[in-house]
Amino acid sequence: MQDGVFFRRRGLRYIDVASGRTIDSLYPNEADAARSCLAEKHGLIRGETFDIEVDVVNDPIRSIEDAYLRLHLLSSRDMKPNSMPMENLFDVLPTVAWTSAGPVFPHVVTKLRTAVSIEHHQLIVFSVDKFPRMVDYVLPSGVRIADADRVRLGAHLAEGTTVMHEGFVNFNAGTLGTAMVEGRITPGVTVGEGSDVGAGSSIMGTLSGGGKETNRIGRGSLLGANAGIGISLGNECIVEAGLYITAGTKVRLPDGSVEYARNLSGRDGLLYRRNSQTGVVEALPTNQKTWGGINGALHTNND
């Protein structure tokens, strides 16, 4: 067992009045922080403060409040992806209707819509999901997010990260340095300093398909538009646009030998491409200068 990492926090939680069940939890930095919403005003939910202490390294998730604390710690950069046990997260988190009048359980939405109509409020249901938008709970410094719906609470965005409209960052995943995200970063996946996840690209995580290997992208690498990887990329690697490399992809090396891609996982300085004449997937030596690196001007924050 590792040495414990204990966090003691005061939080704000919403409770479903009818069932007494916790809906969500917020952990603000300010001691006098408060929140309210129309669902609370009309008596469908109630807000209250609470205290919690958790060993986030050794203990499994034991409550909704515990689950939200870990998601907050990831998005506030107090903990990094894959540093805490998260296996039972989906079992603990309830499904919530995230609305313009506050979070409620889905079966309460009709009652909420009727209640807020008295105030001429047209209820909007943003999503029905286990995870809220990150920016409604944690807004990390030095980041740009073009579409907040596409970054879940529990995403870890390092200073200087830009997430464009088609970028998506899931929980327990994200960037470890300045990076451009225009594709999908799935749970468990990390992207290193100076790397670019191209438009429409994707990186295999561990939630679906039974995979246990945690994939990552190293520093100064490029995952091309509409490309994908089921292996890790090391530093200064490139995957050409449209090429999807799984662990079982056969890759021809410069010396003519052939390796499964899983055996190349994590190696530095490789360009993966499909030969346009033969259709063979190749790995050639390369470096960041081949594509020039990300544009630093796009990742400055002028707040």
Measuring CA to CA, which residue among 200, 280, 274 is closest to residue 238? Answer: 274
Question: In the structure encoding, which two tokens stand for residue 87, read together?
Answer: 């296996």
**Cα distances (angstroms) measured from residue 226 to each of 29, 103, 229, 253:** 39, 35, 10, 23
Which residues are registered as beta bridge partners of 179?
Answer: 195
CB 272 within 8 A of CB 282: yes
Catalytic residue among 40, 65, 182, 240: 182
Measuring CA to CA, which residue among 165, 160, 150 is closest to residue 195? Answer: 160
Amino acid at 7: F
CB 12 within 8 A of CB 32: no
Place of tokens 């919530």: 96
Helices assigned H by DSSP within the chain: 38-41, 64-75, 89-92, 109-117
Residue 182 appears among annotated catalytic residues? yes
Residues with a catalytic annotation lie at 182
